[in-house]
Amino acid sequence: MTNSDRFNRMEDQLIDMRLAVSAVLETATQHQRNFETIQRNFEPLMTEIRDIKL
């Protein structure tokens, strides 16, 4: 394998790693959005439960 071939392979692997990191970041961002939505929906329910207990 020549140095040029190795370099091209490393470039390809770097591109693959960047794509994987990007996908993980997008997944984490979507999970954060989902968590925030759940939290917003949960807060009024907790307020109602507290009001019932009083």
* Residue range 33-44, pLDDT digits in tens: 999 999 999 999
**pTM, to two decimals:** 0.68
Q: How many domains does the chain have?
A: 1
Q: Is 13 inside a domain boundary?
A: no
Q: State residue 1's pLDDT score.
A: 82
Domain membership of residue 4 (yes or no) is no
User: Looking at the domain assignment, is residue 41 inside a domain?
Assistant: yes
Could you tell me if residue 15 is inside a domain?
no
- Residue 37's domain spans which residues? 21-54
Give domain status of residue 5, yes or no. Answer: no
Higher-confidence residue: 24 or 45? 24
Per-residue pLDDT averaged across 16-29, rounded? 98
Cα-based angle 33, 39, 50 (whole degrees, multiple of 5)? 175
